[in-house]
Amino acid sequence: MKRYRIRRFSGALLAFTTAGCLLLTGCGAGGTGDGSGAERAERADGFPAPAPPAPDSGEGSGEQRQDDTDGEFAPAPDYLSTFALDVDTASYGYARRTLAEGGRPHPSTIRPEEFVNSFRQDYERPDGNGFSVTVDGARTSDEDWSLVRVGLATRPAEDDGERPPAALTFVLDVSGSMAEPGRLDLAKESLGVMTDRLRDDDSVALVTFSDEAETVLPMTELGGNRGRIRDAISGLKAQQSTNLGAGVESGYATAVEGLREGATNRVVLVSDALANTGDTDADTILENIAGARREHGITLFGVGVGSDYGDELMERLADRGDGHTTYVSTPEEAREVFCEELPQHVDLTARDAKAQVAFDPETVAEFRLIGYENREVADEDFRDDRVDGGEVGPGHTVTALYAVRTKPGADGHLATATVRWLDPETRAPHEESGQVETAALDDSVRSASARFQVTAVAAYFADALRREDTRFTPLPGAPGIRELADHAHDLARRTEDEAVRQLASAIDQARSLAS
HEC profile of 182-246: CCHHHHHHHHHHHHHHCCCCCEEEEEEECCCEEEEEEEEECCCCHHHHHHHHHCCCCCCCCCHHH
Instruction: Report whether pLDDT(72) > 90.
Output: no
* Average pLDDT rounded to a whole number, residues 37-62: 35
At 382, which amino acid appears?
F
Average pLDDT over residues 395-399: 94
Residue 341: pLDDT band (50, 70, 90) is: confident
Model confidence at 50, pLDDT cuts 50, 70, 90, reads very low
How far is the C-alpha of 122 from the C-alpha of 451, rounded, in Å? 7
pLDDT digits (tens, 9 = 90+) for 199-229: 999 999 999 999 999 999 999 999 999 999 9
CATH architecture classification, 166-345: 3-Layer(aba) Sandwich (3.40)
Percent with pLDDT over 90 in the chain:
59
Cβ neighbours for 335, distance < 8 A, ≥ 6 positions apart:
190, 193
489 or 40: which leads in pLDDT:
489
* Helix, strand and coil in the chain, % to nearest 5: 35, 25, 45
Provide mean pLDDT across the span 23-33: 34
**Among 201-210, 271-280, 305-314, 338-347, whose mean pLDDT is lowest?**
338-347
Helix (H, G, I), strand (E, B) or coil at 499: helix
Question: Is pLDDT at 8 greater than 60 in this prediction?
Answer: no
Does position 435 have pLDDT exceeding 90, yes or no?
yes
Q: What is the mean pLDDT of residues 453-462?
A: 98
| Dihedral of the alpha carbons of 229, 234, 236, 238, in degrees to the nearest 10 | 150
Q: Cα–Cα distances in Å, from 335 out to 112, 201, 331, 341, 343?
A: 25, 21, 6, 9, 11
Candidates 85, 72, 253; CA nearest to 153 is 85
Looking at residue 77, its pLDDT comes to 54
Which is it for strands 132-139 and 145-153: parallel, antiparallel or unpaired?
Answer: antiparallel
Q: What is the pTM of this model?
A: 0.81
Q: Is the pLDDT of residue 436 over 80?
A: yes
Alpha-carbon distance of 242 to 510, in angstroms, equals 32
pLDDT of residue 287: 81
pLDDT at 7: 54
Tell me whether residue 38 is exposed, middle or buried, using C-beta atoms within 10 angstroms of its C-beta: 0 to 12, 13 to 18, 19 or more: exposed
pLDDT at 109: 94
Say whether pLDDT at 275 is over 50. yes
Please tell me the distance from the alpha carbon of residue 138 to that of residue 152, in angstroms, as a whole number.
18
Strands 145-153 and 213-221: unpaired
- Find the range with the poorest average confidence among 26-40, 228-242, 303-317, 455-469: 26-40
pLDDT at 167 over 80: yes
pLDDT of residue 23: 32
176-187: average pLDDT: 89
> With bands split at pLDDT 50, 70 and 90, how would you rate the model's confidence at 52?
very low
Mean pLDDT across 160-170: 84
Residue 262's pLDDT is what?
84
458 has a pLDDT exceeding 90: yes
Q: Shortest CA distance to 207 belongs to which of 164, 269, 157, 155?
A: 269
- What are the pLDDT digits (tens) for 117-131? 999 999 999 988 899
What b/e readout covers 456-481, taking b as 16+ CB neighbours within 10 angstroms?
bbbbbbbbbbbbeeeebbbbbbbbbb
User: Does 38 score more than 80 pLDDT?
Assistant: no
| Tens of pLDDT, residues 223-266 | 999 999 999 999 999 988 889 999 999 999 999 999 998 888 99
Question: Domain residues of the chain, as ranges?
Answer: 80-157+350-513, 166-345
How far CA 347 is from CA of 164, 182, 253, 270, 271, in Å, comes to 7, 28, 21, 19, 23
Question: Which helix (H) or strand (E) element contains residue 303?
Answer: strand 299-304
- Please answer whether residues 151 and 397 qualify as being in contact, where contact means their C-beta atoms are separated by less than 8 angstroms: yes
Q: What strand order describes the sheet that includes 7-8?
A: 7-8, 364-369, 397-406, 145-153, 132-139
Query: How high does pLDDT run on average in the chain?
Result: 84
pLDDT reading at 20 higher than 70: no
